[in-house]
């Protein structure tokens, strides 16, 4: 009986993988044609108001979440669901996530596909996932555990050191906005009229956040995907995606009003109010130019430039049970000597390791069929010329030695993403 169920599940999963692969192949073709359009070297983006203005009327009018609708740690996805660019219940398929983030924000199809597939593997059922917590809309099978959604994806999606979300150990949950963190960013530009949140300002904010985590959270953990990729990446998203584009500022200007609107904050400066789940796209707001989608190439460029300014963002590791005990992961031990802390950031190794490590940490039940899926993902990243991102000659990595993580309680204890509050959820 058990064997029968296992076999039935394998077919089901194979079906889903096959469906995902069809979508990936189709999107890859689109991606390639958009790449052909945009030739390097990078020039200033154009601006076309008619094309870039995002409709927030009629079908796309803001509708706050109702009982049972999922909302979670990502303000971008929450806003898409509130405006019906994603299903209003907050549960969507790989295709829906990929298309909505591309259409409304100009997220490159390579990043959006990667993030969507990753969500489906780790927090969903390979077909769809929830932008908040567990949902009846995302079922696996009776005898498998219920997918938890990205609200409870600690250390594989959600991580410590986020812009406005608290560290799990400090705040007891990591999906709500902590007003004191938001205010830290908000008041970094305190001349209301000229407020202009740019990448250098967000980098400084990130440095303050990371220092705070290291000095107050004994279980701070900064993983490769959840930390370097997602929490660090999300800082850049604040400006790259939320900033309002115009002829005058084709790369965007992010002022107080726009920042507050996307972050579900209302009220005036001495009385800022957070209404969970009410993230909105402002009226009269313009997305990235169509010739300037935020692709993996630009994303990696941002991560590396930030790493040069603040090397902390490149340091995988965490505290070892006391505050201020940050210890870097021994990358050589982790990868059996294939990479070390220095070579990881050379050539295309970062991109190689990113994809390879995902292949290796997929939940064991999915492993077989997913090797096929991730090889399609590998293929997706191939051939980005001149970016250092090609995966053509990756060093061979055959296994990850996860025992290197045993010194980090923030890694070993995360279990289900719902610690009892441990510390002091302040800034
Ligand atoms: C499928 C695509 C996406 C996925 C899977 C995703 C997932 C996530 C997750 C899991 C987090 C939590 C990170 C953490 O707290 O450690 C997050 C945060 C964030 N995301 Fe997304 N996201 C996606 C697309 C977007 C888009 C399109 C935007 C912008 C328009 C965006 C903006 C942000 C921002 C600004 C944060 C930081 C929240 C904070 O202040 O702490 N994301 N996202
Ligand atoms: C404005 O910000 C600067 C730098 O963060 C700070 O030194 C100054 O006190 C702030 N001014 C006000 C009025 O809050
Ligand atoms: C915002 O700051 C950037 C960098 O300091 C500057 O280039 C830009 O002109 C400023 N934009 C506005 C609208 O003040
Ligand atoms: C963060 O901590 C580092 C290392 O202790 C220190 O050099 C840096 O100045 C701190 N940054 C901020 C913004 O406090
Ligand atoms: C975006 O910029 C345009 C052009 O400057 C402006 O008309 C519009 O009001 C801005 N949108 C928001 C939400 O600030
Ligand atoms: C990448 O470069 C190779 C060799 O220089 C070339 O054959 C190929 O057409 C290029 N691919 C793209 C997408 O530009
Ligand atoms: C795995 O990592 C541990 C802890 O760093 C190390 O002692 C051990 O030698 C590593 N094993 C391999 C096979 O690399
Ligand atoms: C998560 O695990 C902790 C202990 O590890 C337990 O107390 C808690 O009830 C669990 N929460 C859920 C939602 O399973």
Pick the ligand that lies closest to the CA of residue 178. Answer: 1
Pick the ligand that lies closest to the CA of residue 244. Answer: 5
Distance 84 CA to ligand 5 centre (A): 22
Q: Whose CA is nearest to atom 9 of ligand 7?
A: 333
Whether 148 contacts 134, CB under 8 Å = yes
Q: Whose CA is nearest to atom 13 of ligand 7?
A: 336
Whether 17 contacts 126, CB under 8 Å = yes
211 CB near ligand 4 (under 6 Å): yes
198 CB near ligand 3 (under 6 Å): yes
- The C-alpha atoms of residue 287 and residue 45 are separated, in whole angstroms, by 12
Residue 374 has a pLDDT of 57
Q: What is the DSSP letter of 220?
A: -
- The C-alpha atoms of residue 247 and residue 184 are separated, in whole angstroms, by 30
**Interval 75-81 mean pLDDT:** 98
**Interval 415-421 mean pLDDT:** 64
Which atom in ligand 2 lies closest to the alpha carbon of residue 191?
1
Distance 189 CA to ligand 3 centre (A): 12
Mean of per-residue pLDDT scores for the chain: 83
Q: Whose CA is nearest to atom 5 of ligand 3?
A: 198
253 CB near ligand 3 (under 6 Å): yes
Residue 144 has a pLDDT of 61
- Is the pLDDT confidence value at 200 over 60? yes
Query: Are β-strands 273-274 and 265-266 bridged in parallel, bridged antiparallel, or unpaired?
Result: antiparallel
Pick the ligand that lies closest to the CA of residue 32. Answer: 6
30 CB near ligand 3 (under 6 Å): no
Identify the CA nearest to 264 among candidates 157, 167, 176, 162. 176
Would you call 210 exposed, middle or buried from its count of C-beta atoms within 10 A (0-12, 13-18, 19+)?
buried
- The C-alpha atoms of residue 366 and residue 126 are separated, in whole angstroms, by 9
Q: Whose CA is nearest to atom 5 of ligand 7?
A: 404
Residue 206 has a pLDDT of 98
246 CB near ligand 3 (under 6 Å): no
Would you call 365 exposed, middle or buried from its count of C-beta atoms within 10 A (0-12, 13-18, 19+)?
middle
**Interval 356-381 mean pLDDT:** 58
299 CB near ligand 1 (under 6 Å): no
Distance 307 CA to ligand 2 centre (A): 27
Whether 225 contacts 332, CB under 8 Å = no
Whole-number Cα distances in Å, 313 to 37, 78, 151:
32, 26, 23
157-184, pLDDT tens digit by residue? 889 999 999 999 999 999 999 999 999 9
130 CB near ligand 1 (under 6 Å): no
Distance 207 CA to ligand 4 centre (A): 7
Whether 67 contacts 113, CB under 8 Å = no
Q: Whose CA is nearest to atom 9 of ligand 5?
A: 284
- Is the pLDDT confidence value at 391 over 90? no
Residue 118 has a pLDDT of 81
Residue 61's pLDDT band (cuts 50, 70, 90): very high
- The C-alpha atoms of residue 124 and residue 133 are separated, in whole angstroms, by 10
Angle between helices 232-242 and 296-309 (to 10 degrees): 120
The dihedral over CA atoms of 75, 80, 82, 83, expressed in degrees to the nearest 10, equals 140
Single pTM value for the model: 0.87
SS3 (DSSP) at 309:
helix
Positive or negative: CA dihedral 147, 150, 152, 155:
positive
Which protein residues are within 6 Å of ligand 8, measured from CB? 415-416, 418
208-217, pLDDT tens digit by residue? 999 999 999 9
310 CB near ligand 4 (under 6 Å): no
29-49, pLDDT tens digit by residue? 665 555 555 444 456 788 999
- The C-alpha atoms of residue 189 and residue 198 are separated, in whole angstroms, by 10
- Is the pLDDT confidence value at 360 over 70? no
Name which residue leads in pLDDT, 80 or 42.
80
């Amino acid at each position: 009986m058990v064997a029968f169920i296992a076999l039935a599940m394998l077919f089901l999963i194979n079906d889903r993988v096959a469906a995902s692969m069809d979508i990936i192949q189709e999107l890859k073709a689109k991606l390639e044609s958009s790449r052909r359009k945009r030739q390097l070297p990078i020039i200033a983006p154009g601006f076309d108001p008619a094309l870039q203005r995002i409709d927030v009327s009629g079908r796309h009018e803001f509708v706050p979440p109702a009982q049972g609708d999922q909302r979670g740690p990502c303000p971008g996805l929450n806003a898409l669901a509130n405006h019906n660019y994603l299903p209003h219940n907050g549960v969507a398929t790989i295709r829906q996530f990929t298309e909505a983030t591309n259409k409304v924000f100009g997220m490159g199809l390579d990043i959006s596909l990667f993030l969507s597939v990753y969500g489906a593997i780790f927090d969903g059922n390979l077909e769809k996932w929830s932008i908040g917590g567990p949902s009846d809309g995302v079922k696996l099978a009776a005898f498998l555990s219920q997918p938890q959604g990205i609200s409870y994806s600690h250390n594989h999606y959600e991580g410590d050191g986020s812009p406005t979300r608290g560290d799990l150990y400090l705040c007891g949950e990591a999906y709500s906005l902590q007003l004191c963190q938001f205010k830290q960013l908000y008041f970094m530009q305190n001349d209301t009229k000229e407020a202009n949140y740019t990448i250098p300002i967000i980098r400084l904010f990130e440095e303050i956040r990371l220092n705070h985590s290291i000095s107050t959270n004994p279980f701070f953990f900064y993983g490769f995907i959840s930390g370097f990729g997602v929490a660090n990446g999300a800082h850049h998203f604040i400006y790259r995606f939320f900033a309002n584009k115009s002829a005058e500022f084709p790369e965007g200007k992010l002022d107080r009003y726009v920042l507050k609107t996307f972050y579900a904050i209302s009220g005036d400066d001495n009385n800022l109010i957070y209404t969970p789940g009410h993230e909105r796209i402002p009226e009269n707001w313009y997305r990235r130019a169509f010739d300037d989608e935020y692709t993996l190439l630009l994303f990696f460029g941002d991560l590396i430039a930030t790493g040069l300014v603040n090397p902390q963002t490149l340091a995988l590791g965490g505290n070892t049970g006391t505050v201020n005990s940050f210890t870097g992961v021994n990358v050589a031990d982790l990868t059996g000597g294939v990479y070390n802390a220095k070579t990881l950031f050379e050539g295309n190794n970062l991109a190689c390791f990113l994809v390879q490590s995902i292949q290796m940490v997929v939940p064991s039940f999915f492993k077989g069929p997913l090797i096929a899926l991730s090889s399609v993902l590998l293929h997706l990243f191939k051939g980005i010329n001149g970016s250092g991102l090609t995966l053509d000659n990756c060093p061979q990595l055959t296994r990850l030695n996860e025992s290197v993580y045993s010194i980090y309680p923030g890694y070993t204890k995360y279990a289900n993403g719902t610690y009892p509050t441990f510390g002091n959820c302040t800034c």
